[in-house]
Amino acid sequence: MKIIADLHIHSPYSRAVSRDMTLENLDHWARMKGITVMGTGDFTHPAWIKEIKQKLEPAEQGLYRIKNQEARSKDGGTRFLLTVEISSIYSQGGKTR
């Protein structure tokens, strides 16, 4: 089985990220680019995990898809993997590091 994945993305709740970075848009552009598995990015953010729970449903073990996607497309849609990134950005002495 061939898997093409992008696991380093950010949610619309991250710094300097477009508000258009929705699960639906991620699914659309993943399909356009041939990506089969996308990270969710920042799933620990309270608003984002709420959206993830509302819009995604379990697919295979550990993977999710847009709800009712299987009925809408022959390939079952993009799979999503819950991901998060550790941030080491901090402020000290009036400077961001």
Tens-digit pLDDT profile for the chain (97 aa)?
789 999 999 999 888 889 999 999 999 999 999 999 999 999 999 999 999 999 999 999 999 999 986 655 667 789 999 999 887 888 899 998 8
pLDDT of residue 86: 84
pLDDT of residue 73: 63
pTM beyond 0.95: no
Give the integer Cα–Cα distance in Å for 37 and 42.
16
What is the SS3 assignment for 58? strand
Give the integer Cα–Cα distance in Å for 58 and 79.
9
